[in-house]
Chains A and B, each alone.
Chain A
C-alpha cells in the first residue's frame, strides 16, 4: 500500500533524507528507530505529505502521494505529531470532533465513532475538559484518538476494515505512563490486525519491537538497515547507529530486549 523508492529530501545544502526505500503492506507495523536528529520525524512528515519537494517515488495505494486530493488523503492516512500546538481553550470532544471533519455524516454517527474510540483509549472521562489543562499523557491519548477517529470508515462505506489506511505515529508513548504505554501499543496492534498499516517512530525500542513486523534503522538520513526484527536488531547495526554496543537479550519466539 505504501511504496518508497529512493526517497530523498534536501533543505538547501542539508541532506535530510537520502535514498530511502520501504514497502509497507496493509496490517504491517513498521518501527523506525535511530539516534536523535537522524531524520525519523522528517521521514514521517514526508510520508504524511507535508513536504512537496522530495525526490524519488512515494506511492500510496498505487497513486503518487502528490496526486492525492488532500481531503481524500485525510480519510486514508492520519498523523500524530510529536507536539500539539493548541493555544486556545478547546474541549476534548471538540478536538476529537475535528477527526470527523471530512466525513459527510450525521452528528449522531460521528458521536458514535468518537465515543467508541474514546472508550478504547480510556479518555471518555475527559469530555468537557479544556485540552490545555490535561496532563501530557492524557493529551497524547486524545491526539492519538483523534487520528484513529479520522481513519474510521463512514458507516455507509463498503470498507469495513482498515485496509489501505495508514497511521503515522511520532513518539506516541513519550508522555504515557507504564500502563498506557503497553495499552496503547496493544490497541494500535489490534487495529493492525484489522488491516491498518502503522509506521511508528520511537526511542523506546524495547516497547515497539514486540509489535514490529519490520524495522527501519536510520542514521544521518540514510537507511542503515531495514527488514525483520531479527535481521535489523543486531549488535553491529545498533553500534553503527547509536555509537555504543548494547547488550541484546534474546529469547526464542520473542523480540530481543536491548539493554546497556
Chain B
C-alpha cells in the first residue's frame, strides 16, 4: 500500500515526464515545420504542393516536364541531402556539447575545449595547403581533407588525454589545461600554414574553417547516418552517468559509477562525433555550446530528458541556420558556421548577462 507522499512523488514524476514528452513532441513538430520551410527556401523557390505533384507523377510513372525535372533535381539531389545532413550534424554537435558540459560540470564548456575543432582545422589546413601547392598528387581532394580533419581531431583529443592522464586518474582541470595547450599549438600551426599558403589555398582554408553544407550528397549523408544511430544510442546510454558526474567525480564513484571508464567513453564519443561532423562540414561553432543551454531552460537539467532534447533542438537549430544561409543573400550562400555563430554568440552573451544577474551559471 502506497503512502500519500509516495503517491504525490509518483504524480510529480509522472507530470514531469508528460511535460517533457509534450515539449519533445512540440520540438519535433517545429522541426517538421522548419523542414517544410527549408524545402521551399533557397535561390530557387519551390512549393511543397508542386513537389507533392511531382512525387505523385513519379509514383504513377508519368513523364515529368523539363521544369519539373529541374525542380525534382534541386529537391532530391541538392536540398534534401544537405537538410538531412544539417539535422544529423546539429544533433551530433548538440549532444556532444551536452555530454562535454556534463563531464566537466561546467555549462560554459564546448567540445572545442579539448582541441577537437582546432586539431581538425590544423590537419585540414595542412592538406589544403599541400594539395593546392601540388595539384598533380591529389587523388581525391575533398575526401583527403575530410579524412585529414577526422584524424586531426582524434589526434588532438588523444594528445589531450595523454597529457591529462596521471597515475591517480584523469583530472578534469588538467584535461581543460591540456585542451588549451593543444588548441594553442593547433592555432599556431594554422597560422603558420595560412602565412605560407598562396591566395587560393588561404581562401580554401578560411572557407573550410567557416563550415559549409555545400557539396553534401546522399553518399555522405548515408556515411554519417550509418554512424549516427550507434552514436545516438551511446549518448543516450550516458544519461545516468552524466547525472551522477554532475554531483562530482567522488560522489559518482561512491554511487557506483566507474568514473575513469565513463570519462574516457564520453571523451572519445564526443571526439568521434565532432570529428565526423567537422570532417564533412568544416567547423560549425556555438551549436555544442548554446543548444544544451536552450534545452536546459526549456526541458530539464536531468540528462534523461536533456540528451534527447539536445538532439532534437540541435537538429532544428542547424535546419534554421541552413535555411538562413541559403535564403538570406540568395543565390549567394553564407557559410553555415557564420550563421550559427551569428545566432549563437549574441544568445550566449544574453545567457551570460542573465546568469550574472541571477548569480548562477546555468
A87 in complex: contacting residue of B2, B105, B250, CB < 8 Å: B105
Which of the candidate stretches A74-82, A183-191, A209-217 sits at the interface with the other chain? A74-82
What distance in Å separates the Cβ of A121 from its nearest Cβ neighbour in chain B? Answer: 12
The answer for the CA separation of A90 and B6 in the assembled complex, in Å, is 20
Contacts of A91 in B (CB 8 A): 300-302
The answer for the CA separation of A52 and B301 in the assembled complex, in Å, is 32
- Which residue of chain B has its CB nearest to the CB of A102? B256
Contacts of B296 in A (CB 8 A): 88-89
A87 touches B13 (CB 8 A): no
B230 at interface (Cβ–Cβ under 8 A)?
A: no
A118 touches B247 (CB 8 A): no
A86 in complex: contacting residue of B167, B240, B247, CB < 8 Å: B247
The answer to whether residues A127 and B9 also contact, given A50-B250, A90-B246, A115-B3 and a CB cut-off of 8 A, is yes
A112 touches B3 (CB 8 A): yes
Contacts of B168 in A (CB 8 A): 52-53
Q: Kindly count the residue-residue contacts between A and B in the assembled complex, taking CB atoms under 8 Å apart.
A: 115
A124 at interface (Cβ–Cβ under 8 A)?
A: yes
A48 at interface (Cβ–Cβ under 8 A)?
A: yes
Contact with B along A52-92 (1 / 0, CB 8 A): 11000000000000000011111101110100111111110
The answer for the CA separation of A127 and B9 in the assembled complex, in Å, is 8
CB contacts under 8 Å to A, within B1-55, are 2-3, 5-6, 8-10, 12-13
B198 at interface (Cβ–Cβ under 8 A)?
A: no
Contact with A along B343-362 (1 / 0, CB 8 A): 00000000000000000111
The answer for the CA separation of A153 and B106 in the assembled complex, in Å, is 34
The answer to whether residues A94 and B248 also contact, given A49-B253, A74-B254, A115-B3 and a CB cut-off of 8 A, is no
B301 touches A88 (CB 8 A): yes
Contacts of A49 in B (CB 8 A): 253-254
Contacts of A118 in B (CB 8 A): 5
What distance in Å separates the Cβ of B269 from its nearest Cβ neighbour in chain A? Answer: 20
CB contacts under 8 Å to B, within A98-129, are 98-99, 101-102, 107-108, 111-112, 114-116, 118-119, 124, 127-128
A132 touches B360 (CB 8 A): yes
B250 touches A79 (CB 8 A): yes
The answer for the CA separation of A94 and B247 in the assembled complex, in Å, is 11
The answer for the CA separation of A82 and B257 in the assembled complex, in Å, is 19
Which 3 pairs across A and B sit closest by C-beta, in order of nearness?
Answer: A74-B256, A85-B248, A88-B301
